[in-house]
Structure 1
């Protein structure tokens, strides 16, 4: 079996996140955990996943800090998998995927929507800046190296930004 590349030590937060949840079974397990599943049998039944794959994915999610393994029966020994705060914090990511999927891959209409818990009104998730409350959309927002970025990471980002500016200038001159 060929081992995939690890993204764990890369500086990019997207790559680091994918290291933890970038495998589709992991995302679906987290979805089901956020919907209340905690036991191996529940995950297996809901996902129709092979037991060996489920075991590997649950172990990886526990090791990455998304789930916590808790013993609920000594005889026979049985464990449940409970979301950690880190795992619960994944909900907005799932909701963003849900909204994106509804927008682009639901030819017959949405099969699952997000609703206001009080009114039942359908909600449309958007990402907003917590300070300004403005929608985070390009070109008004862009990425920039953070305080923890290495010099090499900053240089790569600056090179990409210069290339984007060059392409944008070329497009403007053609218009």
Structure 2
């Protein structure tokens, strides 16, 4: 989405991508309430400094990058930035609770919560938002090869974690294949 469509204000474009920005901010800080607060501060700064937006840049890439830079700036202001990046598992897990009945894999959510923030964000940008490696690199201010390397490390770590899991019992697998009413029918 290009902001050129919005003439004098980025506000309509930012409103259009607000749910995506909210999800990104939530993943940055690991909780909904803290993500909402970060997003509010970052949006205020973006609107106040919208002259910094360069026409021709994808608005979503720019906005994600601005939120990330705002988070880094706030993180650097803390006495113990490493402690600030640790995710509270309960708050982080709430980000994944589905609105409707869906499969929820707690060990995978735990795995994601234990990833460093930059790796979590790389996953979200590439697989959640569909950014290519170049755009994800622009947002996170790294080379596209770094994005690719992070994804390889994450995939390897996830494969190790999944291979250590006990296999699901056959009955549990069958129960997921058939609706409640079909079991026991001739």
**What's the TM-score once normalised by structure 1's chain length?**
0.29
Q: For the pair shown, which has the larger CA radius of gyration, 1 or 2?
A: 1
**What's the TM-score once normalised by structure 2's chain length?**
0.28
* Structure with more of its chain in strand, by fraction: 1
